[in-house]
């Protein structure tokens, strides 16, 4: 019997990383297994061990993709601002517009936070993500303001994902203006 033809799949490694985020979103990190990822990606189980040293390696790659994707969108939104007032409005957008903090992104972020608390490699991914966020904010704000605004963005987006009556645009704008106000 002739061998089955090999499937040409040059994007397999990248696809496995993307699919891993889907599996994490569906089952959490605790429920993410090689078998679930292989099934979701429709690849042989051995593909995972061919491309990744282990599940932690794959999870790190997947969460790095998440962090890079979200920080890229964050950076792009802040890059459109040419004045401090526009930068403040961009920060408001990052909090209140669901394009930036979708339910899926928030769920994956919660998984990353929890996993990073236990796995040093993931803590490094989180620190890199925070560094990119702060660098984008520092184009328009002082380092102290950027740090406070970054924490506010994280906190309010988390609150918005579970609060039945989250802060509206005007309330968020008032908070941003207080945090970004020049000191006397």
Q: Which two tokens stand for residue 90?
A: 């961009």
> Does the predicted TM-score (pTM) go above 0.85?
yes
b/e sequence 139-175, b meaning 16+ C-beta within 10 Å: ebbeeebbbbbbebbbebbeebbeeeeebeeeebbeb
Q: What is the pLDDT of residues 74-96, one digit of tens each?
A: 999 999 999 999 999 999 999 99
Q: What is the pLDDT of residues 44-55, one digit of tens each?
A: 998 888 889 999
78 CB-near residues (< 8 Å, 6+ apart)? 87, 90, 91, 94, 136, 137, 139, 140
């Amino acid at each position: 019997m002739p061998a089955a033809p090999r499937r040409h799949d040059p994007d397999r490694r990248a696809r496995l990383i993307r699919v891993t985020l889907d599996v994490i979103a569906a089952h959490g990190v605790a429920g993410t297994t090689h078998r679930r990822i292989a099934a979701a990606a429709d690849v042989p189980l051995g593909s995972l061990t061919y491309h990744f040293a282990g599940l932690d390696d794959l999870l790190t790659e997947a969460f790095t993709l998440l962090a890079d994707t979200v920080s890229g969108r964050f950076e792009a939104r802040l890059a459109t601002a040419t004045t401090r007032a526009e930068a403040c409005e961009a920060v408001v957008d990052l909090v209140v517009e669901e394009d930036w903090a979708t339910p899926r992104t928030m769920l994956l972020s919660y998984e990353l936070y929890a996993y990073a608390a236990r796995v040093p490699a993931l803590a490094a991914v989180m620190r890199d993500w925070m560094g990119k966020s702060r660098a984008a904010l520092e184009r328009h704000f002082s380092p102290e303001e950027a740090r406070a605004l970054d924490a506010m963005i994280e906190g309010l987006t988390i609150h918005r994902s579970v609060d039945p009556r989250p802060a509206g645009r005007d309330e968020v704008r008032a908070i941003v203006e207080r945090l970004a106000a020049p000191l006397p």
